[in-house]
Amino acid sequence: MNEKSTQQPATPDHQDAPDDVEGERIVRKSTRTSVIVRQAERDAIRAALQATMKVSYSLLMVYLFFHHESCLIRFSFLGS
């Protein structure tokens, strides 16, 4: 009876080992996935900011162009 009780705990421990390895593999895969997702989010935010800055710059240039043109037109009337 003593032999059976010492052998029984050894068997469940041995069966848990593949589960532990699989669990660790899942955790590592999950960690890699979250790192990739976080990097993709950072890249998307960076791209959105760059696009916003380009659009803002373009709008500023259009505004300055038309503002400059309207100033020239006003001054040309004053000079006539």
> Residue 71's Cα: distance from chain center in Å?
45
pLDDT at 16: 55
Tens digits of residue pLDDT in 23-75: 788 878 888 889 999 999 999 999 999 999 999 988 888 888 887 777 666 65
Residue type, 78: L
Residue with the two structure tokens 């003593």: 2
CA–CA dist 34, 42 (Å, integer): 12
Please spell the DSSP secondary structure of 37-61, one letter per residue: HHHHHHHHHHHHHHHHHHHHHHHHH
Residue type, 38: R
Of residues 42 and 11, which shows the higher confidence score? 42
